[in-house]
Amino acid sequence: MKLNFTKEHETCFTVSAQKDNVTRNFTFAKPFDVSNDGSLITFTDKQGKKIKELPPAHFSEISINNTTFPSPKETVKALAGIINFKSGGGAYPPTPPAYNKWQPHPDWWDIKKIFDNDTDPNKRFIMLLIDTVDSITLKQSADFANANAYYKTSDEATYNGDATHNWNPAKDKPCAEGYTTRYVIVYSTDKNVACYLPSTMPFLLYIYFGNKSNITLLGGQNLKSLRAFDCSDDVTADPLSMYAFTSPGVSYSTSPHFEYIKIPNGITKIPDSCFLSFYKLRNENLIIPDSVTSAGNYSFQNCISLTKIPKYFSVSNGGGTYSGCFNISEIIIPNGTTNFPTTSTSLYGLKRVYMPKSLGTQFSPGTSYPYLNEYAVEKGFVLKGTGVSLSTYGTIISLTSHINFLNNLGDTGGVALQIVFGATILSYLNARPDGAAAIAAATNNGYTIS
Question: Does residue 92 carry a pLDDT above 70?
Answer: no
Residue 223, in any domain of the structure = no
From residue 95, give the alpha-carbon distance in Å to each of 30, 287, 308, 315. Answer: 19, 15, 11, 22
Residue 167, in any domain of the structure = no
Q: Which H or E run contains 72?
A: helix 72-83
Q: Which H or E run contains 19?
A: strand 12-19
What is the C-alpha to C-alpha distance for residues 128 and 268, in angstroms, rounded to an integer?
27
Q: Which residue has the higher pLDDT, 430 or 393?
A: 430
Which tens digits make up the pLDDT trace of 210-221? 999 998 876 655
Q: Which residue has the higher pLDDT, 198 or 65?
A: 65
> Do 30 and 14 form a contact (C-beta atoms < 8 A)?
no
From residue 201, give the alpha-carbon distance in Å to each of 139, 220, 401. Answer: 12, 9, 52
Last residue of a domain, one of 29, 51, 83: 83
The reported pLDDT for the residue numbered 27 is: 57
The reported pLDDT for the residue numbered 252 is: 42
Question: Does residue 8 carry a pLDDT above 60?
Answer: no
Mean pLDDT score of the chain, rounded to an integer?
76
- Confidence band (pLDDT; 50, 70, 90) for 263? very high
133-150 mean pLDDT: 73
> Do 354 and 93 form a contact (C-beta atoms < 8 A)?
yes
Q: Which domain, by its residues, includes 12?
A: 2-83
Query: What pTM value is reported for the model?
Result: 0.69
Residue 102, in any domain of the structure = no
Residue 290, in any domain of the structure = no
The reported pLDDT for the residue numbered 56 is: 79
Q: Which residue has the higher pLDDT, 84 or 395?
A: 84
The reported pLDDT for the residue numbered 247 is: 52
275-300 mean pLDDT: 86
Q: Ranked by mean pLDDT, which of 64-68, 83-87, 149-153, 292-296 comes out on top?
A: 149-153
What is the C-alpha to C-alpha distance for residues 58 and 424, in angstroms, rounded to an integer?
41
> Do 122 and 149 form a contact (C-beta atoms < 8 A)?
no
Residue 185, in any domain of the structure = no
93-100 mean pLDDT: 50
Question: Does residue 11 carry a pLDDT above 60?
Answer: no
Share of the chain above pLDDT 70, in %: 71
> Do 212 and 231 form a contact (C-beta atoms < 8 A)?
no
The reported pLDDT for the residue numbered 385 is: 57
Residue 241, in any domain of the structure = no
- Confidence band (pLDDT; 50, 70, 90) for 26? low
What is the C-alpha to C-alpha distance for residues 266 and 290, in angstroms, rounded to an integer?
9
Which tens digits make up the pLDDT trace of 307-320? 888 877 655 566 77
- Confidence band (pLDDT; 50, 70, 90) for 368? low
pLDDT-wise least confident of 94-98, 179-183, 210-214: 94-98
pLDDT-wise least confident of 53-57, 146-150, 391-395: 391-395
pLDDT-wise least confident of 116-125, 369-378, 394-403: 394-403
β-pair partners for 316: 294
Residue 309, in any domain of the structure = no
Question: Does residue 416 carry a pLDDT above 80?
Answer: no
Which tens digits make up the pLDDT trace of 72-90? 777 777 676 555 544 333 3
How many structural domains comprise the chain?
Answer: 2
Last residue of a domain, one of 83, 105, 139: 83
Strands 260-262 and 228-231: parallel
Last residue of a domain, one of 83, 103, 129: 83
Share of the chain above pLDDT 90, in %: 20
Residue 253, in any domain of the structure = no
